[in-house]
Each structure stands twice: as C-alpha cells, then as structure tokens.
Amino acid sequence: MELIRVVLVDDHAILRAGVRALIDSQDDMEVVGESADATDGVASVGALSPDVVVLDISMPGRSGLEMISKLKEASANTGILILTMHDDLEYVRLSLASGAAGYLVKTQADTELLAAIRAVHRGRSYIDVSLGKATLAQMLETTDATGLPAQSETPLSRRERQVLEQVAYGHTHKEIAAQLEISVKSVETYRSRIASKLGLKSRADLVRFALERGILSRDGA
C-alpha cells in the first residue's frame, strides 16, 4: 500500500512532535519532512513533493496564509491543510480562497486531523466540524453587504495599514513589532487607533476589511 506522504510546517516543536507521532502511528501515512518556518517549508515541499502539507497560520516571519501560493508553486499536486489556533470564519474563507483544501482548529487535531489528511489526499475539501453548523452555513451564503465602513471615511496611515495587514495575516504583536522594527507598545497603539477609526475590534472583522479594501490579497501574495 502506498503511504500518504506528509510534510509538517509549524514553528512549535512540541506540536510537530505530537502530530508526527500521531501520523506515523497510522498504517496508511507517514511524515517525510518538517519545517519550523516559511522559507524551509517551501523548500521542503518543493524537494519532497508530499501528498499533503499540514500548515500553521501564525509563524515568525511569513505567515502560513502568505505561504499558500508559494507552496502551490513549489508543488502543484500537494494538498494544503491548515492547522491553526484561529477559529475565525474569515481565516477559513481566506485560506480556502488562497488555495488550501482543508481547515482544522488545533483543539480538534487529536480527533479530526487524520480524517482531514485523508480527505485532502483524496482531493476533497475538509472544514473543521467544531466551527459549528451556523459558521459553515454562513460560509455558503453569498451577499454584497459587507457591513464595513466606507473607505473614504476611514483613512489609515501607511504604518496603520502595515499593522492592519500583519494582524490580518495572524501575526502576534511581538512578531509585528520585530518585523516593523517598532515596540510592542507601538503596535498596540496602532491597533487601538485602527479599531477606533474602523469601528472594528475583532480579528475576523479586520481580516474582512483588509480583504475588501485590497490591503490583504486573497491569493496570499
């Protein structure tokens, strides 16, 4: 029997070890590589051409969302399964729109991960059932109403747009501070200003705004 070949891309070594042990305990799959950052992840997938890559969103440097298009370029036939702590609907939408085949919240990894890997390997989509029927139904709805403030009414400075983009990509305040070479306190101040200007406080609302206003691209580029 040909095994499902999996590459893990996550910056948490303990989580990678646990996921590797779970996968390697199965008769139909194996972990053939793992990486702790975006650059190594793309290189590993390009070199190994695995059947499935299990990818985290929040990582130092480039986020998982930004990696999706690069991974598809590196290995077009590799299915991408997002494994993340984010349970926001907008992250699900953005991940799938960017080319991911599945989305799973880490709290459900012990019970759903294997089924998700098998589904993605078969060319099917897999959405975490823990997100709830209401969330899944909402994903299927199509509407022109965004509920977002008009762009002309919410001018953002260049730095505020940079911070908004990084927040939407799932980076922590500490990671954003390091990337923009400013203090964590400054990041918090910019995010507070953004929330005040836009009237949007949750990360999901900020992701939606960034998508609709072209600050965050749907292809993760």
Domains and CATH numbers, the chain: 4-140 (3.40.50.2300), 151-212 (1.10.10.10)
The answer to whether the beta carbons of residues 191 and 198 sit under 8 Å apart is no
Give bridge partners of residue 33 from the DSSP assignment: 7
Query: Does the reported pTM lie above 0.75?
Result: no
Rounded to the nearest integer, the mean pLDDT of the chain is 81
The whole-angstrom separation of Cα 58 and Cα 45 is 18
| pLDDT over 50 (residue 219) | no
Quickly state the pLDDT bin for 19 (edges 50, 70, 90): very high
pLDDT in tens, 86-140: 877 778 878 887 889 999 998 888 888 999 999 999 988 888 766 654 455 555 4
